[in-house]
Structure 1
Amino acid sequence: MLPRCFAMPAWEQWCTFQPFGLSSSTHSSTPPPPPPPGWVKFNIDASVRPNSVAGLGVVARDHDGKRLIAAGSLVEQWDVTRAEILAAIAIRGAVEDWMFNIDGIIIKGDFRNAIMWLQGAFNRLNKLHLRTEGPDLSFLPDFRQVLFSNVPRQCNQLADFCANYACFGNFMWKACDDRNVPPSFLSLLRGDSDQA
């Protein structure tokens, strides 16, 4: 057992058990670094509308910053925290078989309460991820390692775009040259790549 530093706020403790090479900084004016080689990063977000329609957005990228998949799904939900948790669970639809053989995944979101809930629920000592009722997290233990990270909103713009776009219907883009990808998303993607 490693001692827990109580001087550090709980939202910074996600990095306590992370592998060497991952940044422990959660507050920065520069974009966070890409995941290390052999890892895939999933940025997640949810957009809840007043009519109880929520869009869930997921963007998956590798260590080169290359977008692997962008997806969105439309659900009926009025609770923001639950919608953000559902966005994390929506990565199941964006996962490809080869991803289970990589070193690990990082799930990043800009809603602190949802990230903290997911982190606690996924704790292998806390059997909450094996519950039959509530959100189904049973697919996460199939990965070698899973980390959760709270990021500033400005570092989550692609997932936010996908969440808002999903309010109009489900989609999945696996390639940037897909003619269905909106030019505004490609513009955000270029800007995000220039900063990284």
Structure 2
Amino acid sequence: MTALASSYKSENNKTVEYGEWLKKIKLNPRIQCFWWRILNEAIPANDFLMKRRLLGHNSCPRGCVEQENTDHVMVHCSKLQQAIGTLRKWGFLCPLFSSINDCKFHLKILSEENKSMANLYCSIVYFTWNSRNQLKHGNNEWSVNFIACNAISYASISTSYLLMDHWDANQPSRLISFWHPPPPEWIKVNFDAALTNNNNGGIGGVFRDSKGRFLLAFGISCIRWDIGTLELIAIRSLKNFISNWMLDAKGLIVECDNLNIIKLLQRSKNNGSRNGFQEDIEDLSFLDGFGNFLFHFVNRNCNALAHNCANHALVQDFFGEDLNSNKVPPSFFYVLREQSDRISIT
């Protein structure tokens, strides 16, 4: 197939310029190989096969009523659009492109400015193509949820790369103004800290599942003088609230509204430091029980429930696993209801 593609390119005097940016994204090796092939027009899309007289038509097997060429596979396929829409519902603002040239141009930029977002897009195109191949060979296609979950997993953890950049770089803040549930069978925890002028501090967090359902919330009071230190204490405190049953989840997303803290956590994860002390590196070994875990920077509106917990902790400590318990602060219910209504959760 690669030889056929090379011959086809020579006949049409085409050149492919993708330089070093593909390597910078640090894709899973299988996905990187796929993208090398697609950028060299060396995948057996129906348009390619028809031009080589190996197929009698060039339409998309999904019924998109379009030619299935490289542009279609990389940008326009309806299944790809649905999968990207699913990612966006989960709070991952995967980019949308208008053409193959637009896609290449912005992926090159993202390879410098936001490798994680580029990795996510490349991964979801790869799994959408694999799903297409299932259909092509007479099997059932994968669901968009399955495609999106696999894209997140491969983008966050690969054999040679761990998440480094926050997901929402260069995205309009109006698009991320409210909390999103995590992917199916994942857990999301939001944490925050609050600090008064007299150095009374509070940290808080809330765990929720993929349907937005409450799992547990906590708040701890402490004395500190720096909000950054408080938020580090908040992430460290999660180890005290992670139960064994949570480890059965497919993954954990940790969110907060302090970009510097998220960068520190991602740097700690990327360095893989689990033994001994290193400056500016957090011990994240307590998260190793999760198959996948990633850190997500969000704006304050998305983190409102954790902020409520941190503020309540300024008054007293609390821990609750049941919304019917009087241990959960009353103001918590108002914020929870507001967020649930926003994402149509009852």
Please classify the TM superposition score into its range, dividing by the shorter chain length.
Answer: 0.7 to 0.9
Q: 1:88 Cα shift?
A: 1.6
Q: Do structure 1's residue 3 and structure 2's residue 24 form an aligned pair?
A: yes
Taking structure 1 as the reference length, what is the TM-score of the superposition? Answer: 0.85
- Does the CA-based 8 Å contact 1:14-1:149 persist in structure 2? no
Q: Do structure 1's residue 117 and structure 2's residue 261 form an aligned pair?
A: no
- Does the CA-based 8 Å contact 1:59-1:71 persist in structure 2? yes
1:7 aligned counterpart, secondary structure:
helix
Q: 1:194 Cα shift?
A: 0.2
The letter for the 1-side match of 2:210 is H
Matching residue of 1:142: 289
Map 1:36-115 to 2 at 5 A: 36-115=183-262
Which structure carries more relative contact order (alpha carbon 8 Å, separation 6+)? 1
Matching residue of 2:126: none
Q: Do structure 1's residue 166 and structure 2's residue 268 form an aligned pair?
A: no
- Per mean C-alpha deviation after superposition, the further-off stretch among 130-139 and 145-154 is 130-139
2: CA distance, partners of 1:9 / 1:191? 37
2: CA distance, partners of 1:96 / 1:10? 38
Give deviations 1:89-113, integer Å, cap 9, x for gaps.
2221221111112111000000110
Give deviations 1:40-62, integer Å, cap 9, x for gaps.
00001011222222211110000
- Does the CA-based 8 Å contact 2:187-2:251 persist in structure 1? yes
Cα pair distance change 1:127/1:51, threshold 3 Å: same
Gaps of 5+ in 2: 1-21, 26-106, 124-147, 153-166
Map 1:11-22 to 2 at 5 A: 13-15=115-117, 20-21=148-149
Q: 1:130 Cα shift?
A: 3.4
Cα pair distance change 1:32/1:161, threshold 3 Å: closer
2:232 aligned counterpart, secondary structure:
helix
Q: 1:30 Cα shift?
A: 4.6
2: CA distance, partners of 1:181 / 1:90? 18
The letter for the 1-side match of 2:109 is A
2: CA distance, partners of 1:54 / 1:129? 28
More helix by proportion, 1 or 2?
A: 2
Matching residue of 1:128: 273
1: CA distance, partners of 2:221 / 2:111? 34
Q: Radius of gyration: which is bigger?
A: 2
Cα pair distance change 1:2/1:165, threshold 3 Å: farther
More strand by proportion, 1 or 2?
A: 1
Q: 1:152 Cα shift?
A: 0.9
Taking structure 2 as the reference length, what is the TM-score of the superposition? Answer: 0.50
The letter for the 2-side match of 1:7 is I
Counting aligned pairs with the same residue, the percent is: 32
The letter for the 2-side match of 1:44 is F
Q: Say what the alpha-carbon RMSD is for the aligned residues.
A: 2.6
Q: 1:185 Cα shift?
A: 1.1
2: CA distance, partners of 1:8 / 1:17? 9
